[in-house]
Chain A
Amino acid sequence: MAQMTMIQAITDAMRNELKNDENVLVFGEDVGQNGGVFRATEGLQKEFGEDRVFDTPLAESGIGGLAIGLALEGYRPVPEIQFFGFLFEVMDSVAGQMNRIRFRTGGTKNQPITVRAPFGGGVHTPEMHADSLEGLIAQTPGIKVVIPSTPYEAKGLLISSIRDNDPVVFLEHMKLYRSFREEVPEEEYTIELGKAAVKREGKDVTVVAYGAMVHSSLKAAEELEKEGIDVEVIDLRTVSPVDYETVMESVKKTGRAVVVQEAQRQAGIAANIVAEIQERAILHLEAPVLRVTAADTIYPFSEAEDVWLPNHQDIVEKIKAVVNF
């Protein structure tokens, strides 16, 4: 076991898979000799060579096409999009091509691609770096969306994503890259995609969260414990497909729920969770399911992040509103 940050755990997962499968290729802007703008691919080119880990021209759409073509030749591409705000440049490759190839070929071809990209606020990045766009891809059939919140899970989920024979978008929250260390086994292990984790057991109210909001939710739960409110926190880990079984089990136990996301209210995936809860567990609800989200504006100018991003106080307030309904 070693103490690792999330970024180290991610590098470790890629190293493991580069070693494990000669078809794994890691590429993107500055991922080679430079080791990535966040050092996610640090040392990988040196260890595995330029044939396996390489830089690309600066063109996201081209990177997407490159991944699709390499997959058609039997490779297992792990391309990086430097910041997920640049997704729009490669939206067709991700949401119009790689997710549809198994379908369009009647199951005769597949796309074992893992698109890695950082996102998320709280680190004062310039425009179009921090936007939460997972909702766009979660609406797209044929692709899975994974968002880890801890180093341990990042490694296990990334190995699973790379081994998945269908495309996965793997989103890495920038604020979580180095915010804490955790024990991460050095040997390989996997965490099943599409499975949520109960991060804190409680009996009064269920909080469903993902990404950085998992930690804010845990902080809110701690605060509310002092007030005698027992909060159960579920980390979705995969936002498409969602593990509704775990969500429903919890909601049926607590009778109350709050869904927390960093994305704007009209974006993200919180509305899906609310809809499924009301379809499947309405008779168990003591109160409406409320959402904690950002405001429906463009992602803020960096100096306004503190007032704009949802935080644990917002979560505390919503939980209280649900409990006192």
Chain B
Amino acid sequence: MKHVLESVENQFETFQILNEDGKIVNKADMPELSDEELKELMRRMVYTRVLDQRSIALNRQGRLGFYAPTAGQEASQLGSHFALEKEDYLLPGYRDVPQLIWQGLPLHQAFLWSRGHFAGGQFPEDVRALFPQIIIGAQYVQAAGVALGIKKRGKQAVAVTWTGDGGTSQGDFYEGMNFAGAYKAPAIFIAQNNGFAISVPREKQSSAKTLAQKAIAAGIEGIQVDGMDVLAVYAATKHARNRAINGEGPTLIETLTYRYGPHTMSGDDPTRYRSDELNSEWEKKDPLIRFRKFLEGKKLWSEEEEAKVIEDAKNDIKEAIKKADQAPKQKVTDLIGFMYEELPVNLQAQMEEYQAKESK
């Protein structure tokens, strides 16, 4: 008997370009990015780290509502997003707000989504994306549908979706990839493996050694990437996008990453299930540190530049929160109005009832 499992696992070695010291360890796969693009990538990562810090603070002050921290996942989230084009369609999970922002969702709307205001879901028309999905896995089956739609329309674009390590245990995770595979639809499935689904470690989700190998069940390509290495995540996503628009079908990308903060700001206490040692081990792998070292080595980044990004981010966030504060309070009649194109009789009656109430 051959050791089938071992031979399968050996096909999913971690793809890395930049090591923890900011050194290129894989020249052959180095993506073609201009100096300006490299700097823009760093700018976005720093900005997003600040956004996370400020969002946590604003949440604690009660000025934001639901918030799922992102610190640590900048390479995974922004490296994958940076490989996309404006015409690509995003189906994010609830932690994937940064990708939406860099796709063009105004910051104040992201804040309104966090607070629970309908205006947070009214995306500008040119932002091809769905709201952050709360039902884990649903975005995967929907991505298969968007990708098939893109293929039928003959567009040179892809559907991209993100879930976490826990999400890979859902039926919809598998069905989504399998449907996209069966239709050879241009979809990119990203599983951001940050080691924990709330308190449950990745090992308790599955005895599969990698999550990337789950692609085999759908008969599609799977790649495991160092999710703290922005160049590797970018290169893997670019590769998947090229395959997809060339009609070669979907790809599953597993990014090995970590979230420094709690699962969400809704009362989760990560000290109950994660040790200080584990945190500090991953802090050494921080995507910002290694990419900063890399750029400084190329004389493309300075402390002044970083300070400027931090200041810009803080100012933008301040402005955006102010703008979010100005959003009109929601009324029941607003909510009724968003239910159908034409109100059925029961809602017509309720609309009148609430109009009378609201005009008092």
Give the B-binding residues of A (Cβ under 8 A).
51, 56-57, 59, 61-62, 64-75, 92-93, 96-97, 101-110, 141-142, 144, 164-166, 194, 241-245
Contact = CB atoms under 8 A, between A and B. Distances in A.
Pairs A-B, 9 closest by C-beta atoms: A69-B145, A65-B141, A73-B149, A241-B344, A62-B175, A69-B146, A106-B122, A106-B118, A66-B145
Contacts of B172: 61-62, 65, 92
Nearest to A143: B340
A107 B122 CA distance: 7
Interface of B: 89, 118-119, 121-123, 125, 130-131, 135, 138, 140-150, 152-153, 159, 171-172, 175-176, 178-179, 182, 335, 337-341, 344-347
Nearest to B345: A241
A109 B119 CA distance: 13
B138 A110 contact: no
26 contacts: A57-B178, A61-B172, A62-B176, A64-B141, A65-B143, A65-B179, A66-B144, A69-B145, A70-B148, A70-B152, A71-B145, A73-B150, A92-B135, A92-B172, A93-B138, A93-B141, A101-B130, A102-B339, A102-B341, A105-B121, A106-B118, A106-B122, A110-B341, A144-B344, A241-B344, A241-B345
Given A62-B179, A105-B121, A241-B344, A74 B145 contact: no
Nearest to A110: B341
Contact of A70 (B123, B145, B341): B145
Contacts of A68: 141-142, 145
Contact of A245 (B122, B123, B340, B345): B345
A162 to B, nearest CB: 14
B153 A73 contact: yes
A241 B344 CA distance: 6
B149 A69 contact: yes
B335 A103 contact: yes
Contact of B122 (A67, A73, A108, A142): A108
Given A62-B144, A70-B146, A244-B345, 19 more contacts: A62-B172, A65-B142, A65-B144, A65-B145, A69-B145, A69-B147, A69-B149, A69-B159, A71-B145, A97-B138, A102-B338, A103-B338, A104-B131, A105-B122, A106-B118, A106-B119, A108-B122, A142-B340, A144-B344
Nearest to B139: A65
A106 B176 CA distance: 26
Contacts of B337: 107
Contacts of B135: 92, 96-97
A298 to B, nearest CB: 24
A194 B343 CA distance: 11
